[in-house]
Amino acid sequence: MILPLVLLFIVVPIAELAVIIQVGEAIGVWWTIALLIADSLLGSLLMRHQGRAAWRRFTESVGSGRVPAREVLDGALVMAGGALQLAPGFVTDGFGLLLLAPPTRAFVRRAIVRRVARHGAVRLGAWAAGRRPSQGGPARTPGDSGYDVEGTAYEDDERRRLP
């Protein structure tokens, strides 16, 4: 759990600074700043376009009665790419553009689906089987009906009339 945070908050900013310094030395400070601004503008335009396309595919999928699993994952990847575009720097912008471009996003989506299918189903199966937390699932008490909850709902005015 610590390693991803170290990468996120220490390694990525250091890498960004190193790349910005190298680019600045090669093309100059003002051209580097202009390139960073242009990269961010291009990324925001691409994010807007791809986000709308993902939303359109999502609504079409829901409208036709299909489960929008692919569309939801595409939307999440577009959002992640957009978030990477917000961080200043060439490294995060590069990864953000990879998630925003449809061909590379499809590659990432397939990799995620393969990983979840390979590793996620086992963990999900443990939770669904009702095992105890030490076995990888939620604890169940005898007579526990799973996720069913019994209850009664009343409208506000109905409850006032009840004795």
Angle (CA) 75 49 113, round 5°: 25
Enter the pTM of the model: 0.66
Spatial separation of the C-alpha atoms in residues 40 and 77, rounded to whole Å:
17
Report which of residues 135 and 70 the model is more confident about: 70
Report which of residues 82 and 7 the model is more confident about: 82
Q: Which of 50, 11, 32 is nearest to 89 (CA)?
A: 32
Q: pLDDT band at residue 80, thresholds of 50, 70 and 90? A: very high
Report which of residues 152 and 16 the model is more confident about: 16
Q: Return the pLDDT at 8.
A: 80
Question: Chain centroid to CA 154: how far?
Answer: 38
Structural domain boundaries in the chain: 9-130
Q: In this predicted model, what pLDDT tens digit does every residue of 92-146 receive, in sequence order?
A: 999 998 999 999 999 999 998 888 888 765 444 444 444 444 544 455 555 555 5
